Amino acid sequence: MNLPNLRIVVPALISVLCLTGCIPMAKAGFSRYHRGDTSELSVALYSGYPPADYPYQSLGAVRGEYRASQNEMVGNSTEKALDNLVEDAKTKGANAVINIKLDQQLRTYTYTGEAVIFDSVPFSKRILIGDVL
């Protein structure tokens, strides 16, 4: 096998091994979730799961959904779906939502996550986009 073929074969082999479970995949980092106007939300939003030094109490799954009109912009639709997620978390008494995921089906935008209560909310100070624990 010559060198150019190795550059293609090795990454492909690693991907296959990761997908089959032979090599554990790296977990995504825990980071503050940002959107256009999240300057002061009453519930902190995070992608991923927190490290062990941030214990939390789970309050269950939360969901925020929004169906956009035909001429509505995507950014506005996702923000409204995220607002609905925050409202669902607030009704459960959460101070944060972790492991946020977005699912889009045609014009329906759905955010899901886990409502939690942190004793000390990670990244409680003003942070820059991309801060990761």
pLDDT tens track for 96-130? 899 999 888 888 999 999 999 988 777 654 433 44
Q: How far apart are CA 89 and CA 64, in angstroms?
A: 9
pLDDT > 70 in the chain, percent: 61
Phi first, then psi: give them for residue 35, nearest 5 degrees.
-140, 180
Q: How far apart are CA 36 and CA 19, in angstroms?
A: 34
Q: 27-118, what's its fold?
A: Translation Initiation Factor IF3 (3.30.110)
Work out the average pLDDT over 17-21: 42
Q: What ranges do the domains of the chain cover?
A: 27-118
Residue 9 scores a pLDDT above 80: no
Tokens of 31: 């980071």
Q: How far apart are CA 78 and CA 81, in angstroms?
A: 5
